[in-house]
């Protein structure tokens, strides 16, 4: 049995512009958030003290966010980067709901935006993983 792979049609211009706009916006947000964590901004230090996992986790989270932000801007990797960052936002949402006294609204919004971008870039992600529709 043989399997034929066919290239999916190119995404529409509107989808491409929407995806790039979202990529740039999310890259700026996660670069700022991750940078604040890496720089040891006092508010971030307090947040991770409240979470109780240690400051090493603040550094790891900052690296994850900055790395994800950079990957969002590398053609072909935005889909995987958005999945990576969506997972990070699931963790942030849980931290807000379970431990932190602040609302989880921003984490929820960022989760929705990263999931939307993952959907917009699904063809890239499948191609990168060696699977085509």
Residue boundaries of the structural domains of the chain: 13-126
Would you place residue 15 in the very low, low, confident or very high pLDDT band (cuts 50, 70, 90)?
confident
Give the predicted TM-score (pTM) of the model.
0.86
Report percent pLDDT > 70 for the chain. Answer: 90
Sequence-separated (6 or more) residues with CB below 8 Å from residue 92 = 104, 107, 110
Say how far apart CA 131 and CA 118 lie, in whole Å.
Answer: 16
According to the model, what pLDDT value does residue 133 have? 53
According to the model, what pLDDT value does residue 130 have? 84
Report the mean per-residue pLDDT for the chain: 92
Would you place residue 129 in the very low, low, confident or very high pLDDT band (cuts 50, 70, 90)?
confident
Helices (H), the chain: 13-39, 42-51, 55-72, 78-98, 105-120, 122-128
* Among 29, 35, 26, residue whose Cα is nearest residue 118: 26
At residue 132, does pLDDT exceed 70? no
Question: Under a CB-based contact definition with an 8 Å cutoff, are residues 105 and 14 in contact?
Answer: no
Question: Model confidence over 45-69: pLDDT tens digits?
Answer: 999 999 999 999 999 999 999 999 9
């Amino acid at each position: 049995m043989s399997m034929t792979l066919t290239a999916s049609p190119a995404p529409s211009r509107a989808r491409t512009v929407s995806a790039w706009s979202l990529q740039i916006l999310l890259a700026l947000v996660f670069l700022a958030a991750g940078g604040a964590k890496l720089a040891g901004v006092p508010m971030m230090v307090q947040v991770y003290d409240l979470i109780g996992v240690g400051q090493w986790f603040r550094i790891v989270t900052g690296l994850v966010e900055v790395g994800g932000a950079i990957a969002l801007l590398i053609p072909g990797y935005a889909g995987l980067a958005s999945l990576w960052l969506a997972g990070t936002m699931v963790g942030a949402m849980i931290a807000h709901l379970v431990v932190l006294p602040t609302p989880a609204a921003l984490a929820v919004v960022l989760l929705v935006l990263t999931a939307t971008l993952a959907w917009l870039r699904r063809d890239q992600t499948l191609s990168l993983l060696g699977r085509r529709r």
